[in-house]
């Protein structure tokens, strides 16, 4: 049976802060660039882990899927936008998204979870200027259905939701100039609906995960679970 490809190469929503960008060149493990020190590790389950490594002698990064100590696949991406404690990776059963920075702007690259085949990518917040680096707050939040990308510049912040199956941008919210301190994905109090909370300015506030609708105050103390 032919493997169904995802929709990352299709059109994305225009006007919500995401646009299709050039993908650049992807390399598999046999390419000449070499992986260097580990930047971050994101556990998928008891055996599988996504590992981000710096490029030895370069500015790019390798993303690896490991099954215990075995490397299942490895791909080379542009400069990684995440950092320890603030990952720039989201994953679903079928796709892995990686936040990168190229030419001073934030982009999202997508890989097949199965074999690292490139699925597509997009530029985030194209209406804004260059992003701040390193970002002071969270980079990528996820519930493994969608990724919620916090894109930050010197005096602006934007939150963009991406469907990890279709690769479409779902919504975007301008967050204003105040630094984003923290964030997460939660089940809102008194409801089964997920919210994305952002701690910024006077305190935490929330958005409906599916639609981006502003939902007022929220935060990690008023929820059932938090995924950073």
pLDDT tens per residue across span 31-57:
478 999 999 999 999 999 999 999 999
What architecture does CATH give domain 18-176? Beta Barrel (2.40)
Mean pLDDT across 125-134: 89
Where along the chain do the CATH 2.40.128.630 domains lie?
Answer: 18-176
8-state DSSP, 115: T
Say if CB 7 and CB 167 are below 8 A apart. yes
* Model confidence pTM above 0.75: yes
Query: In terms of Cα–Cα distance, which of 221, 183, 188, 222 is closest to 87?
Result: 183
Q: In the chain, which ranges are E strands?
A: 18-19, 35-43, 48-55, 61-67, 70-77, 79-80, 89-91, 95-102, 105-112, 118-124, 140-142, 146-152, 157-163, 169-174, 180-187, 194-200, 203-208, 226-227
Conformational region of residue 203, where left means phi above 0, alpha means psi within -120 to 50, and beta covers everything else: left
pLDDT tens per residue across span 151-203:
999 999 999 999 999 899 999 999 999 999 999 998 766 566 899 999 998 88
Conformational region of residue 126, where left means phi above 0, alpha means psi within -120 to 50, and beta covers everything else: alpha
Question: What is the predicted pLDDT for the residue at 132?
Answer: 84
Give φ, ψ of 21 to 5 degrees.
-115, 165
Mean pLDDT across 86-106: 95
């Amino acid at each position: 049976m032919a493997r169904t490809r995802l929709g990352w190469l299709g059109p994305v929503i225009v006007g919500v802060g995401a646009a299709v960008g050039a993908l650049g060149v992807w390399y598999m493990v046999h390419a000449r660039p070499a992986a260097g020190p580990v930047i971050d590790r994101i556990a998928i389950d008891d055996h599988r882990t996504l590992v981000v490594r710096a490029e030895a002698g370069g500015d790019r990064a390798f993303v690896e899927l490991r099954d215990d100590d075995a490397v299942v696949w490895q791909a080379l991406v542009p400069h990684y936008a995440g950092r320890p404690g603030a990952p720039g990776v989201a994953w679903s059963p079928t796709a892995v998204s990686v936040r990168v920075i190229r030419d001073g702007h934030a982009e999202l690259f997508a890989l097949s979870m199965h074999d690292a085949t490139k699925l597509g990518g997009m530029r985030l917040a194209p209406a804004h200027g260059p992003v701040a680096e390193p970002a002071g707050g969270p980079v990528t939040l996820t519930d493994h259905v969608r990724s919620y990308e916090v894109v930050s510049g010197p005096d602006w912040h934007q939150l963009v939701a991406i469907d990890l199956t279709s690769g479409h941008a779902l919504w975007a919210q301008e967050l204003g100039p105040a630094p984003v301190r923290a964030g997460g994905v939660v089940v809102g109090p008194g409801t089964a609906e997920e919210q994305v909370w952002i701690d910024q300015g006077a305190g935490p506030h929330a958005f409906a995960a599916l639609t981006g609708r502003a939902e007022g105050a929220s935060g990690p103390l008023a929820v059932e679970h938090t995924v950073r």
